[in-house]
A and B are shown apart, each in its own frame.
Chain A
Amino acid sequence: MAKQALSGLKVVEYGSFVSAAFCTKLMADLGAEVIKIEEPKRGDESRDYGPFPDDVPHPERSGLFLYLNTNKLGITLNAKTTTGMSILERLLQEADVFVENNPPKLMSEIGLDYVKLKELNPRLIVTSLTPFGQTGPYRDYKAYPINCCAVGGVSQSIGHYWREPLTMPLSHGHYQAAVSGALGTMVALLARDVTGRGQHVDISETDVWATYHVGFGITIYAFGVKDNLRKGYIGGGWTYPARRVIPCKDGYMALCAPQLKQWVKFVELMGNPEWIQDPKYRERHAMEDDYPEEVDALLTPWFLERTKKELFELFEKNAIPFAPLYNMEDEVNDVHLKERRFFAAIDRDETGDLKYPGAPYKLSKTPWALARPAPLLGEHNEEIYCGRLGYSKVGLVALRRADVI
């Protein structure tokens, strides 16, 4: 296997569901050794989620779990037992990075707060992914992704202003927290090379939404511009079509043409329909701000006569930046993605040959790689407990009986 950028980095993951798992996946896919700790018997929550092949639920066949946990080693461990905790401590003494997404209160209760971990291993980088972070008045609030979208301000940018706001679906906040967690961890690793010290990386999912994603709204607000972002694309001030979705024959097209020449060319492709002579449809700012639906309706018949593919090719050829709303089938079958080998396949007994979404970046010398599938529950117990920690096979059985692993 080719060398990878994070080869040799030792990561321990102790959490559940999406955020911690995706954060360490980013590292594992670049070569880090990730030991994923799961609760004995039940395992990670994402094992319950699916999708499942042929809709038959099975903890080893959950699409979400399989995708989130590629390239990892999996062990089971009950950290709530004394023995379990001392095993976890041994793993953390050897580790570079510890990624967790448990409630801050729980971490203190079980004795895994940062002060304690720092004593255990001063070089350890502890990355905590939580809804509101380790400080602040909402620290101990219970929250799911939708609640972070609410406070994080991202829902002010999804949906129509005359209706209820929408959440980012599919736990996207967890993914965003995960990417920020990986960023913070990498910075902490670079810092450790100089200082010799580890540190605590505190990631709040809410704060990630409120900054990188919709934080510009604060800057605009400070200048007294629009304060409800659902009323217009990135704060308004753009020309039609700033961001419109128009139905076509077999799906939908997304339109965005900030430059006048792009719009003029598009109108020409439509055959310069008569309505374009109306001064009302020459005011691109008013068209965007005051009556976009009217303009949409004028465009729609032309779109409805054409397919996504036809339209995309036509726009592509004429340098008009409009594109189809791809659905998941379009993604998987897209020729461009195929040529770039975006989807990676992995075969295993439990699921057969499956395609997974692949590299978010192509590093020329240290490529992203899918080397092994997600671990079965406790798949690497023997490798870690016997191979690394020196337990005998008999000892392993005893640990299992005692509900430690």
Chain B
Amino acid sequence: MAWHPLQGYRVVDFGSAWAGPQMAHIVADMGAEVIKVESRNRIDYGRMGGAASSKELLLKTPEALVAAAPERLELNPVFHLLNRGKLGITVDFTKPRGAELLRELIKRSDVVSDNFTPGVLDRYGLGYESLAEIKQDIVVVSLCFAGHTGPLKGTRGYAPIITALAGLDSVVGYTDESVPCGPNFAYGDHVAAMHGALAILVALIHRNRTGEGQYIDISEWEATTSLLGEPLMEYVMNGRIPGPTGNRDSMMAPHGYYPCKGEGQWVSIAVKTDEEWRNFCQALGSPPWAGDERFSDRYSRLVNQDALDKLVGQWTANYSPREVTEILQQAGVAAAPFLISKEQYHDPHFRERGIFVEVNHPKSGREVFYGVPWKLSDTPGEVRGSGPLLGQHNEYVFKELLGLSQDDFEHLVEEKIIF
């Protein structure tokens, strides 16, 4: 088996839903032993949804589903995706003995991660202060909607609410519609997950050098807003409030998505310099409008881009996105096809770079996951299997790692502490 760069590090992951689990799978891919904590009283909501539940079941809680149809909790491939390569345990830490077991486990761990609303872990003696007493160099990364201090610290919010409050939604939308549409994917969760993973790695680097652990407070809101320097500076410097810019760019024209032959077929084109413009016109066979004064320099093209977009769109409509790409790239002009997931899966770029990988899940069978996007030449890491079944690794963790006897283990199961 290949050596992985985070081999030997152990992470106790209390994450649920999206951001927490995704943050922890990033370190799992690099070889860390990530132990996901659930219990039948507190199942990750991520197990719901997708193939796991029909519409009527979605209205129920996962705990209700345990009673009704437990096998369904093992069927959501997106849950497996976000919890890939992790071990799964079930322990009820609202009971003192359960919390004690986790403290024992954390004593033997390097990192604790969670995305609870502030205060949950503290309530059960699992907050940073208590943990640092038993494991002085522990790294705790705690991620939540608005951070762990401040008047809005108790606010809950799902991904669409993060990008709204973080200011991103206000700059994503069509220029000719009054309502900004925002991105229709969980950007705020992903941004928080990646920053969380980065903070874990940085804290481990520091710990390895100095022996000092620490507590990391992450606000999903702030992580997202920290990426908006450009529009924020516009307000700070000039008092102007930027709105959606559609597919417009302040430096490039043409710049956008242009229709191609066939339904839902689009190609992206971006032209920046005068040289690129000349190449672009040539690649199009120097149409009569190419010499038009309205498009003679970068400034004119920016001013007259509505007219320019129409003309470009008339040309692209004769070709497929890949044909346009081929013609323009040959001429040194930036162009690329608009792809949906299905097309990405078959695209030669992703194939050759091995971006999507197959895994096998004991209950749901073959699954296709995204792999590690960063290619590290020496220690690449890998997707180390699908997601865990509920409590799949209880025996390993409680008996092998913590040294419980068979009798003690069975007793704790009976008491619904390991549950």
Q: Known contacts being A166-B174, A187-B6, A361-B196, is A154 close to B185, with CB within 8 Å?
A: yes
- Kindly identify which residue among B196, B237, B340, B373 contacts A63, using a CB–CB cutoff of 8 Å: B237
A54–B198 touching, CB < 8 Å: no
The answer to whether A80 has its CB under 8 Å from any CB of chain B is no
Measured CB to CB, the closest approach of chain A to B78, in angstroms, equals 5
What would be 8 A-B contacts, judged by CB atoms less than 8 Å apart? Answer: A138-B349, A190-B208, A216-B78, A243-B182, A319-B156, A339-B149, A360-B195, A361-B198
Q: Across the interface, name the chain A residue whose C-beta is closest to B179.
A: A245
Alpha-carbon distance A136/B160, docked complex (angstroms)? 34
A188–B5 touching, CB < 8 Å: yes
Complex interface bits, A157-169 against B, C-beta within 8 A gives 1, otherwise 0: 1111101111111
B376–A364 touching, CB < 8 Å: no
| Chain B interface helix/strand/loop/mixed | mixed
- Kindly identify which residue among A158, A160, A215, A357 contacts B229, using a CB–CB cutoff of 8 Å: A357
Within 8 A of A (CB), among B319-364: 329, 332-342, 344-345, 347-350, 352-353, 355-356
Alpha-carbon distance A66/B201, docked complex (angstroms)? 27
Measured CB to CB, the closest approach of chain A to B160, in angstroms, equals 4
**Which of chain A's residues have a CB closer than 8 A to the CB of B185?**
154, 157-158, 213-214, 229, 233-234
A195–B160 touching, CB < 8 Å: no
**Pairs of residues from A and B, 9 with the lowest C-beta to C-beta distance, nearest first:** A63-B233, A215-B370, A254-B164, A217-B341, A67-B229, A186-B201, A184-B374, A199-B378, A191-B5
Q: Across the interface, name the chain A residue whose C-beta is closest to B270.
A: A144
Interface with A: B99-107, B218-226, B299-307, B395-403, which one?
B218-226
Interface with B: A86-94, A324-332, A379-387, A388-396, which one?
A324-332
Interface with B: A34-42, A145-153, A272-280, A397-405, which one?
A145-153
A211–B334 touching, CB < 8 Å: no
Measured CB to CB, the closest approach of chain A to B375, in angstroms, equals 4
Within 8 A of A (CB), among B172-193: 172-174, 178-187, 190-191, 193
Alpha-carbon distance A130/B333, docked complex (angstroms)? 16
A211–B184 touching, CB < 8 Å: no
**Which of chain A's residues have a CB closer than 8 A to the CB of B227?**
172, 175
The answer to whether A218 has its CB under 8 Å from any CB of chain B is yes
B370–A212 touching, CB < 8 Å: yes
- Kindly identify which residue among B77, B164, B202, B223 contacts A326, using a CB–CB cutoff of 8 Å: B164
B165–A323 touching, CB < 8 Å: yes
The answer to whether B55 has its CB under 8 Å from any CB of chain A is yes
Interface with A: B85-93, B240-248, B410-418, which one?
B240-248
Q: Across the interface, name the chain A residue whose C-beta is closest to B237.
A: A53
Q: Across the interface, name the chain A residue whose C-beta is closest to B276.
A: A142
- Kindly identify which residue among A137, A194, A202 contacts B352, using a CB–CB cutoff of 8 Å: A137
Alpha-carbon distance A327/B203, docked complex (angstroms)? 33
The answer to whether A170 has its CB under 8 Å from any CB of chain B is yes
Alpha-carbon distance A237/B51, docked complex (angstroms)? 10
Measured CB to CB, the closest approach of chain A to B338, in angstroms, equals 5
- Kindly identify which residue among B166, B186, B370 contacts A211, using a CB–CB cutoff of 8 Å: B370
The answer to whether B96 has its CB under 8 Å from any CB of chain A is no
Within 8 A of B (CB), among A201-246: 201-204, 206-208, 210-223, 225, 227-230, 232-235, 237, 239, 242-243, 245
Measured CB to CB, the closest approach of chain B to A223, in angstroms, equals 6
- Kindly identify which residue among A228, A237, A361 contacts B223, using a CB–CB cutoff of 8 Å: A361
The answer to whether B390 has its CB under 8 Å from any CB of chain A is no
The answer to whether A189 has its CB under 8 Å from any CB of chain B is yes
- Kindly identify which residue among B171, B215, B335, B366 contacts A364, using a CB–CB cutoff of 8 Å: B215
A166–B246 touching, CB < 8 Å: yes
B252–A136 touching, CB < 8 Å: no
Measured CB to CB, the closest approach of chain A to B355, in angstroms, equals 5
Alpha-carbon distance A188/B380, docked complex (angstroms)? 9
Within 8 A of A (CB), among B220-272: 222-223, 225-238, 240-247, 249-252, 255-259, 264, 266-268, 270, 272
Alpha-carbon distance A169/B78, docked complex (angstroms)? 27
**Which of chain B's residues have a CB closer than 8 A to the CB of A188?**
5, 376, 378-379
Q: Known contacts being A245-B169, A328-B231, is A360 close to B218, with CB within 8 Å?
A: yes
B348–A137 touching, CB < 8 Å: yes
Alpha-carbon distance A132/B352, docked complex (angstroms)? 11
A150–B336 touching, CB < 8 Å: yes
A149–B268 touching, CB < 8 Å: yes
Q: Known contacts being A164-B247, A172-B227, is A336 close to B172, with CB within 8 Å?
A: no
Alpha-carbon distance A101/B147, docked complex (angstroms)? 33
The answer to whether A356 has its CB under 8 Å from any CB of chain B is yes
A237–B242 touching, CB < 8 Å: no
**Which of chain A's residues have a CB closer than 8 A to the CB of B329?**
141-142
**Which of chain A's residues have a CB closer than 8 A to the CB of B197?**
183
The answer to whether A359 has its CB under 8 Å from any CB of chain B is yes
Q: Known contacts being A26-B198, A339-B150, is A355 close to B341, with CB within 8 Å?
A: no
A202–B377 touching, CB < 8 Å: yes
A199–B158 touching, CB < 8 Å: no
The answer to whether B199 has its CB under 8 Å from any CB of chain A is yes
- Kindly identify which residue among B151, B335, B348 contacts A339, using a CB–CB cutoff of 8 Å: B151
The answer to whether B388 has its CB under 8 Å from any CB of chain A is no
Q: Known contacts being A187-B30, A191-B378, is A146 close to B170, with CB within 8 Å?
A: no
**Which of chain B's residues have a CB closer than 8 A to the CB of A329?**
235, 241
B217–A361 touching, CB < 8 Å: yes
Alpha-carbon distance A64/B337, docked complex (angstroms)? 29
The answer to whether B64 has its CB under 8 Å from any CB of chain A is no
Alpha-carbon distance A136/B353, docked complex (angstroms)? 6
Q: Across the interface, name the chain A residue whose C-beta is closest to B329.
A: A141
Alpha-carbon distance A153/B19, docked complex (angstroms)? 20
Alpha-carbon distance A235/B352, docked complex (angstroms)? 26
Measured CB to CB, the closest approach of chain A to B249, in angstroms, equals 7
B270–A137 touching, CB < 8 Å: no
A49–B226 touching, CB < 8 Å: no
